[in-house]
Amino acid sequence: MREKLKNQLAELRLHGMQRVLEAEIERTEREGTSGLELFGRLLTEEAAYRRERSLAYRLRDAQLPWPWTLQSFPFARQPGLNPAHINTLAGLDFVRRNENLLLIGPTGVGKSGIAIGLLREACLNGYRGCFYNAQALLDELYTSLADRSTARLITRLSRMSPLVVDEIGYMTMRTEQANAFFRLMEQRYNRVSTIITTNLEPQSDWHSLFQNKSLVDALLDRLQHHCITIRINGPSLRTQQSGSESDAAEDKTAHKKKSGAGPRTTR
**Mean pLDDT of the 188-214 span:** 94
| pLDDT over threshold 60, residue 249 | no
User: How far apart, in Å, do the first and last CA atoms of the chain sit?
Assistant: 77
Q: Taking residues 178-185, what's their average pLDDT?
A: 96
In the chain the domains, ranked by start, together with CATH numbers, are 2-61 (no CATH), 75-237 (3.40.50.300)
The C-alpha atoms of residue 8 and residue 204 are separated, in whole angstroms, by 64
Q: Does the pLDDT at position 63 exceed 90?
A: yes
DSSP the chain: -HHHHHHHHHHTT-HHHHHHHHHHHHHHHHHT--HHHHHHHHHHHHHHHHHHHHHHHHHHHTT-SS---STTS-GGG-TTS-HHHHHHHTT-HHHHTT-EEEEE-STTSSHHHHHHHHHHHHHHTT---EEEEHHHHHHHHHHHHHTT-HHHHHHHHTT-SSEEEEEETS----HHHHHHHHHHHHHHTTTS-EEEEESS-HHHHHHHHHT-HHHHHHHHHHHTTTEEEEE--S--HHHHHHHHHHHHHHHHHHHHHHHT-------
- pLDDT value, residue 96: 98
| Per-residue pLDDT tens digits for 83-128 | 999 999 999 999 999 999 999 999 999 999 999 999 999 999 999 9
Q: What is the mean pLDDT of the chain?
A: 88
Peptide bond into 162 cis (omega under 30): yes
Treating both helix axes as pointing N-terminal to C-terminal, what angle do 35-61 and 15-31 enclose, rounded to 10 degrees? Answer: 150
pLDDT digits (tens, 9 = 90+) for 256-266: 433 443 333 33
Contacts of 106 (CB under 8 A, 6+ apart): 199, 236
Question: Which pLDDT tens digit goes with each residue over 67-79?
Answer: 999 999 999 999 9
In this prediction, residues 131-135 reach a mean pLDDT of 97
Q: What percent of the chain has pLDDT over 70?
A: 90
pLDDT band at 246 (very low <50, low <70, confident <90, very high): very low
Half-sphere exposure of residue 208: CA atoms within 13 angstroms, side-chain side: 6
Q: Quick one: average pLDDT of 15-27?
A: 89
